[in-house]
Amino acid sequence: MFFLWPDVLWVLMLLPLLPAAYVWLLRRRSTAALRFSSLSVVRGAVGHAWRRHVPPALFLLALIGLVVAAARPVARVPLPWMRSSVMLAIDVSLSMRVSDVKPTRIAAAQEAAKSFLRELPKNIEVGLVTFAGSGQVAQRMTLDREALVASIDGIQMQMGTAIGNGIVLCLAELFPEQGIELDDLDTPSTRYGRSLDKKDKKEKLPVKEFTPVAPGSYDSAAIILLSDGRRTTGVDTLEAAKMAADRGVRIYVIGLGTVDGDVPTSDGLAIYMQLDEPTLREVARMTAGEYHHAGTAESLHSVYRNLGTRVQVLTRETELSGVVTLIAAVIAIAAGVLSFVWFGRVG
């Protein structure tokens, strides 16, 4: 996509008249009859006649470039990572103990998350939220990778799956000034959710009004959500996704483990493990994110690795005036140098 500001488009429309004016000036020059002592002189003169047209042509090209730059051209181009923070939301329900993903789902998730941290740029803040029947901020956003690894290794398993709570806690960390609280959401099951342990509980902030933005338009943060099951308690998953979409935050969803069927745990108990893929896909769609299914440890590593690369480049509208001006200046300098070298003068 490429467009120009309309206020100088009329100037571009006049530029084709410049070559016509140049040709007209050449024809106005009076021609004098000259005598030559030999045909070699004529051949030499004709052989280099094209040179006199090169500097004016380059100067015209540079002039066009400057006019285009003045028009403030804008194009959608890929740019390096612009996000400043990433929230990892990891499901720690008891179903994560099963071993259909070797050695276990939770062990594979922990190792993949640590690999993801190693591949992220060091200046990207990362936070960790864990959720089961309740949710908690295991690690606030930080640049300290060792602290994050320690939090990932210290994950504790719980009963239940409150996916919506995990999303809301991520938003509360990304937008602390908005005073987002699980207890404020109008659902009876929010009693299972908590934003922090009591000892770490922050003073409650007043809820700040905000204007919803387009999904995926907030370039300063992203959420990576990993779950192996379906919501059993807490905030409705799609309600939480709507909160993220209204704030422009993309959610990259990873569905881990068995898509359909029963999987026995190591202690012989059967836990129904079917992924609620339609809901998880809808979360990604609503927030302009992506959904990936990881049925093995290798595929989980691959998903994390691809996300670590993919979300580091954004395609966004960027003004190209500086680049176009630089190119025009180089062309103008080249025109002056060639004119001086070939004719001993500039212009």
What kind of fold does domain 80-314 have according to CATH? Rossmann fold (3.40.50)
Say how many Å lie between the first and final Cα of the chain, rounded: 37
Given a contact cutoff of 8 angstroms between Cβ atoms, the answer to whether 73 and 321 are in contact is yes
Q: What is the DSSP string of 19-79?
A: HHHHHHHHHHSPP-----S-HHHHHHHHHTGGGGGHHHHHHHHHHHHHHHHHT--EEEEEE
Domain borders along the chain are 2-26+50-73+320-343, 80-314
pLDDT, tens digit, 9 for 90 and up, residues 49-87: 667 777 777 877 887 777 777 777 777 665 554 557 889
**Beta bridge mates, 127:** 87
Please check the confidence at residue 102 and state whether its pLDDT lies above 60: yes
Of 126-130, 192-196, 330-334, the range with the lowest mean pLDDT is 192-196
CA pair distance 263, 148, nearest whole angstrom: 30
Under the banding of pLDDT at 50, 70 and 90, the label for residue 279 is: very high
pTM above 0.75, yes or no: no
Given a contact cutoff of 8 angstroms between Cβ atoms, the answer to whether 324 and 69 are in contact is yes
Tell which residue, 158, 271, 280, 172, has the closest CA to residue 227: 280
Given a contact cutoff of 8 angstroms between Cβ atoms, the answer to whether 234 and 165 are in contact is yes
DSSP three-state, residue 7: helix
